[in-house]
């Protein structure tokens, strides 16, 4: 490979590698940013869920307190007008111990200022709900219970214990807040007796390997037990982050794929050009050698005619002139072959399909080949289709078959065995020609139909040719909208299959 080509490959490889590295670095950083965003989102969702779950518990206890205050066997609700303050004061007293009581004088009862009359159940409910709301805001929401009366304090403590913090109630609330943020990642609650709402560095590697995202700790305010702090731990958020990155991530992957494909395509093109250059050089070497032989022979004959008195001997003169003519005819034939390359390049030939008697045509071609080859040839032909006629261009059909048979004879030994058969496969008539020649290596099989390609054998080709025959055969078959296939193994011969549409 030339140094310039190697230099171009190295520069392109380095440039593409740098692009890939930059893309990888960008994607990695963007992933980290989205992971941090995910962590922030789940922390906010967890905090909102804790507040909501606590609020729901307070709602439940507040309603139970209001209902309990309406129980006349436990409490007495009365009102008294305070002339100094100019408003009605409502009092709740323990029905069993009337001395235990508390009033609304120190509480916020704005908007409620009328006397509670006996039998006014609706207004009594209003007073009970207002007291329950006040106890919620001043006691429950501050995580304390003041025993304003013994029975009310005991009732509130009992219900606080009954509706204590529970992850079973918290889970659906957290799921709801996560869905609001389009997060659907498995999570697990982590409860501890002691924790820090700031420090997150004391988790084991084993735990973090399963749950890499851990929220801040929040107090549970449980009345008893070791579950005093709670965290939410999330599995790897890869699917969420990739979904959030969306088109940008897909575009980056596409760009990386395109760059990688470009490098592969560039290398493939360069190596293909190198191989084509080698094929071209081999063709030039071969055709040059074939040109030189008739030129040298004709030159020697002409030199003998002019320099050694051969013109004085009519018989010798005729013989030398005959040699010269024969070699010039060979030279003209070689020139015709070179000129025909342009035809193969443009595929400028027209197909004129006509009915062909397949059996008669193949038998005729094989018989003529045997007569002219000068080798011992044994051949068998069998038609397994029951079809005798196909539509094809007679001349080009003959050229295709002759090229395949000619190759079989060239690359076989002194004794040639040909097996020719016709079969049907997927609406194609398959003409199969099998020989017992030297075969072709697997590495060369994909290239045998390329123009000028000949199986490498150094600078020496025992069999003359220009690497055009099989390319010509392929062109003919494809012009007929068919296909061709080759199977071969060194030392075991070759099988050519030509498919003609029915």
Q: Over the stretch 8-20, which tens digit does the pLDDT of each residue have?
A: 777 777 877 787 7
Buried b (16+ CB within 10 A) or exposed e, 181-194: eebebebebbbeee
Q: What local confidence, expressed as pLDDT, does residue 461 receive?
A: 45
Pairing of strands 229-234, 218-219: antiparallel
Q: What is the CA radius of gyration of the chain?
A: 50
pLDDT digits (tens, 9 = 90+) for 413-455: 778 888 999 999 888 999 999 988 888 888 888 888 877 677 7
Give the whole-angstrom CA distance, residue 36 versus residue 29: 11
Instruction: Note the pLDDT of residue 373.
Output: 66
Predicted local distance difference test score (pLDDT) of residue 395? 86
Position 68 confidence tier, pLDDT thresholds 50, 70, 90: very high
Q: What phi and psi values does residue 190 have, to the nearest 5 degrees? A: -125, 110
Round the average pLDDT of the chain to a whole number and report it.
83
Taking the C-alpha atoms of residue 502 and residue 254, their distance in angstroms, rounded to an integer, is 44
DSSP state of 197: S
- Residue 174's nearest CA partner among 35, 60, 53 is 53
The CATH number of domain 354-501 is 1.10.10.60 = no
CA distance 350 to 366: 25
Where are the chain's structural domains?
12-236, 241-346, 354-501
**What tens digit of pLDDT does each residue of 83-100 get?**
887 888 999 999 999 999
Task: Please name the fold of domain 241-346.
Answer: Helix Hairpins (1.10.287)
Q: Residue 43 in 3-state DSSP?
A: helix
Report the share of the chain in percent with pLDDT over 90. 34
- C-alpha of 67 from chain center: 63
Please compute the mean of the pLDDT values over residues 459-471 and round it to a whole number. 61
- pLDDT over 60 at 403, yes or no: yes
**Residue 498 confidence (pLDDT) above 90:** yes
Q: Is 439:493 a contact under the CB 8 Å cutoff?
A: yes
């Amino acid at each position: 490979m030339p140094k310039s080509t190697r230099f171009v490959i190295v520069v392109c490889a380095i440039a593409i590698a740098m692009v890939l590295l930059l893309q990888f670095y960008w994607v990695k950083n963007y992933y980290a940013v989205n992971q941090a965003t995910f962590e922030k989102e789940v922390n906010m969702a967890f905090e909102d869920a804790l507040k909501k779950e606590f609020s729901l518990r307070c709602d439940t206890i507040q309603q139970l307190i209001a209902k309990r205050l309406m129980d006349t066997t436990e409490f007495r609700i009365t009102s008294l007008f305070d002339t100094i303050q100019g408003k009605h004061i409502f009092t709740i007293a323990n029905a069993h111990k009337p001395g235990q009581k508390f009033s609304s004088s120190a509480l916020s009862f704005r908007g409620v200022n009328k006397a509670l009359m006996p039998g006014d159940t609706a207004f009594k409910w209003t007073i009970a709900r207002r007291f329950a709301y006040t106890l919620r805001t001043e006691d429950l929401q501050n995580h304390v219970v003041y025993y304003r009366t013994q029975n009310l304090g005991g009732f509130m403590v009992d219900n606080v214990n009954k509706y204590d913090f529970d992850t079973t109630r918290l889970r659906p609330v957290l799921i709801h807040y996560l869905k609001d943020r389009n997060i659907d990642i498995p999570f697990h609650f982590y409860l501890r007796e002691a924790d820090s709402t700031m420090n997150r560095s004391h988790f084991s590697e084993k735990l973090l390997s399963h749950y890499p995202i851990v929220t801040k700790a929040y107090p549970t305010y449980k009345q008893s037990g070791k579950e005093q702090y709670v965290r939410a731990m999330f599995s790897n958020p890869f699917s969420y982050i990739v979904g959030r990155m969306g088109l940008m991530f897909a575009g980056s992957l596409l760009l990386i794929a395109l760059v990688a494909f470009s490098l592969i395509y560039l290398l493939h093109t360069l190596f293909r050009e190198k191989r084509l250059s080698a094929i071209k050089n081999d063709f030039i070497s071969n055709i040059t050698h074939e040109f030189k032989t008739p030129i040298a022979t004709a030159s020697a004959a002409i030199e003998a005619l002019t320099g050694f008195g051969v013109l004085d001997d009519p018989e010798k003169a005729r013989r030398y002139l005959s040699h010269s003519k024969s070699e010039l005819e060979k030279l003209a034939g070689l020139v015709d072959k070179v000129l025909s390359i342009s035809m193969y390049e443009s595929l400028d030939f027209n197909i004129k399909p006509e009915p062909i008697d397949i059996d008669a045509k193949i038998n005729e071609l094989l018989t003529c080949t045997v007569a002219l080859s000068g080798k011992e040839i044994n051949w068998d032909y069998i038609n397994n289709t029951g079809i005798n006629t196909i539509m094809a261009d007679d001349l080009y059909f003959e050229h295709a078959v002759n090229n395949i048979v000619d190759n079989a004879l060239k690359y076989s030994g002194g004794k040639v065995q040909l097996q020719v058969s016709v079969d049907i496969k997927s609406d194609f008539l398959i003409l199969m020609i099998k020989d017992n020649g030297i075969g072709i290596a697997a590495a060369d099989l994909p290239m045998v139909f390329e123009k000028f390609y000949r199986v490498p054998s150094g600078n020496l080709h025992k069999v003359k040719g220009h690497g055009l025959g099989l390319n010509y055969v392929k062109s003919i078959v494809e012009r007929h909208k068919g296909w061709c296939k080759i199977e071969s193994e060194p030392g075991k011969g070759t099988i050519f299959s030509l498919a003609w549409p029915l």
